[in-house]
Amino acid sequence: MDRNLALEFVRVTEAAAISAAEWIGRGDKKAADQAAVDAMRSRLNQVDFSGEVVIGEGAKDEAPMLYTGEKVGCGKEIEMELAVDPLECTDSVAHGRYNAIAVIVTGAKNTLLKAPDTYMEKIAVGQEGAEAIDLNAPIKQNLQKVAKATGKDIREITVIVLDRPRHEKLIGQIREAGARVRLITDGDVAAAIATCNPDSGIDLLMGTGG
């Protein structure tokens, strides 16, 4: 991707984050989300590209802005697809908690998966363990392979998991394998990114989510 265009997308997420920040701790997640959506859409439409939202806030009749299928940008030559979440973790903003983030994923035309609004199994891991994991492998096997790839004992591996009833079995399997579990209330996008930061203390994210 052109460096200037990449920086433009950084500014788009920055605008969404700044707008949402006005609502931190005010108890109104809908207002926070709307502020982020408005700011992201406004800035996207100032960028010199032709974009289509393939994963957005919802269907056209469900979301007034940044809906799936919406066209954005003010150019014609560079065609791209986008997956957007102007404010991931609206509850965190409303209640003054951590891990809220503004998200854009970009790709050339016809390269992004047009995924439905559904829950999926997730595994995120840093660069060292990227070739070791297999979504179809047992939990213990994945943990053992990541431990080997990162040069750690499995007891040193920390897995971040959303604190949800649906994850009780997963949490048990992780602990039974010998790894540690760190539970979070919200924010698995930020948690997934944390696996790529060697200083975060997080080795993997596991679980099911949207």
Same domain for 162 and 100: no
Same domain for 71 and 133: no
Same domain for 148 and 89: no
pLDDT at 1: 66
CB atoms < 10 A from the CB of 99, how many? 19
Q: Is residue 115 part of a domain?
A: no
Same domain for 187 and 153: yes
pLDDT at 169: 98
Instruction: Summarize pLDDT for 105-141 with one digit per residue, the tens.
Output: 999 999 998 887 788 899 999 999 999 999 899 999 9
Same domain for 84 and 64: yes
Same domain for 194 and 129: yes
Same domain for 132 and 88: no
CATH of the domain at 153: 3.40.190.90
Considering the chain, what is the average pLDDT of its residues? Answer: 94
Q: Which domain holds residue 45?
A: 3-108
C-alpha distance from residue 202 to each of 114, 125, 162, 181 (Å): 29, 9, 13, 9
Q: Is residue 181 part of a domain?
A: yes
Q: Which of 81, 108, 135 is the last residue of a domain?
A: 108
Q: Is residue 114 part of a domain?
A: no
Same domain for 132 and 37: no
Global confidence as pTM: 0.87
Q: Which of 108, 140, 172 is the last residue of a domain?
A: 108
Instruction: Summarize pLDDT for 178-207 with one digit per residue, the tens.
Output: 999 999 999 999 999 999 999 999 999 999
Same domain for 36 and 57: yes
**DSSP one-letter code for 62:** T
Instruction: Summarize pLDDT for 59-95 with one digit per residue, the tens.
Output: 766 667 899 999 999 998 899 999 999 999 999 999 9
Task: Return the closest-CA partner of residue 37 out of 17, 55, 52, 54.
Answer: 17
Task: Report how far Cα 138 is from the mean position of its chain's Cα atoms.
Answer: 24
Look at residue 25 and tell me whether its pLDDT is greater than 90: yes
CATH of the domain at 74: 3.30.540.10
For the chain, what percentages of helix, strand and coil (3-state, to nearest 5) are there? 35, 25, 40
Same domain for 142 and 94: no
* Domains identified in the chain, total number: 2
Burial of 82 (0-12, 13-18, 19+ CB in 10 A): buried
| Tokens linked to 108 | 């050339």
Q: Is residue 113 part of a domain?
A: no
Q: Which of 78, 108, 138 is the last residue of a domain?
A: 108
Q: Helices 168-177 and 139-150, interaxial angle, to 10°?
A: 50
Same domain for 52 and 125: no
Look at residue 2 and tell me whether its pLDDT is greater than 80: no
Same domain for 125 and 101: no
Q: Is residue 198 part of a domain?
A: yes
